[in-house]
Chain A
């Protein structure tokens, strides 16, 4: 059934999503929509990482930071480089991917960020993200210079899409990519981001995915000189992530996380 969860912070949104899912049959549901305004620095992240590490080892779940890096490698983006920040990010990412391609496993070899900046098009790798950034920046500049009506300036202006899924290449029914699509929408001088997942494991990947998406929105916003707006995740199928986990541990984590973030007023 459709569930809409909208909270101010990433952590609150994650907690509420988990609370919804653990009460569903097998911890699964369809059409789960989650939105939040900002990434927060919460001890809940450490608790999640501790649970993931405890069931990990070689081939176990990734940490939240590793998952976030697959969407946006924040350590490679240095906004104080100004005009050189994005080119340096792409350069560093290209080097990192040469190493990444030597790892085993489709989920590990590939990265969502790589699909955004080197999409396998018929004409070779295509940097969709930079294309959208330049298009957005151009339209923002035009708004200030060419539009005469305050009403028109206030209108939502969809800026296009960033595609992840590559038909013909992504033939595996269970593997990469779970994130299919990213849309950017410019409203009231803020870049809002919507991500569509065909499936999302909220315990194993959700928190890291939310982090990566928030950082991606922040990157685009910074590059076009706008504010970062809301992040929305549409999981056409969502899974709390009970498989391979102790249900009591998962429920305990969710209860503990709720204690940390408090009850909504």
Chain B
């Protein structure tokens, strides 16, 4: 999902982004693209407010690995509990 929304923010197709990443360990991204992708993930998951102010520092938005790490953490934290799922 992250690659899909990031590709859109970068004006690329998913395949173009995957090709650009290639065998690299990480990808430097524009922080505005990272911010856009983070909110797009939140929106697709329907978790309004998942991305907090402190998540929007350049250190979390300027590389693919940092962005994915931040999103993974927030997704885990906002995972509905079994009780919430049951309701």
A residues at B contact (CB < 8 Å): 66, 69, 73-76, 78, 80-81, 85, 88, 92-93, 95-96, 98-100, 102-104
Contact = CB atoms under 8 A, between A and B. Distances in A.
B40 interface: yes
Given A102-B51, A102-B56, A96 B36 contact: yes
Contact of B43 (A81, A93, A95): A95
A74 B49 CA distance: 26
A75 B51 contact: no
Interface in B1-53: 8-12, 30-33, 35-36, 38-40, 43, 49, 51-53
A59 to B, nearest CB: 12
Contact of B35 (A88, A100, A104): A100
The binding surface of chain A is classed by DSSP as helix
Contacts of A98: 39, 43
A96 B32 contact: yes
Given A92-B9, A92-B36, A99-B39, 5 more contacts: A66-B31, A88-B8, A102-B52, A102-B56, A103-B56
The binding surface of chain B is classed by DSSP as helix
A80 B11 contact: yes
A88 B32 CA distance: 13
A101 to B, nearest CB: 10
Given A99-B38, A99-B39, A104 B32 contact: no
A96 B53 contact: no
17 contacts: A69-B31, A75-B33, A76-B30, A78-B10, A80-B11, A88-B11, A92-B8, A92-B9, A95-B39, A96-B35, A99-B39, A99-B56, A100-B56, A102-B51, A103-B53, A103-B56, A104-B53
